[in-house]
Amino acid sequence: MKTNLKAITSAMQFYFTGESLRNVQQFLQLQCVQVSHQTAYKWIKKNNKLMKSYLDKITPQVGDTWRAMGLH
Q: What is the pLDDT of residues 39-52, one digit of tens each?
A: 999 999 998 888 88
Q: Which of 26, 21, 16, 23 is nearest to 37 (CA)?
A: 21
Q: Say if residues 44 and 12 touch (Cβ distance below 8 Å).
A: yes
Number of domains forming the structure of the chain:
1
pLDDT per position as a tens digit, 19-45: 999 999 999 999 899 999 999 999 999
**Cβ neighbours for 3, distance < 8 A, ≥ 6 positions apart:** 33, 35, 43
Question: Domain range for residue 32?
Answer: 5-51
Would you say residue 65 lies in a domain?
no
Whether residue 17 is contained in a domain is answered as yes
pTM comes to 0.66
27 domain-assigned: yes
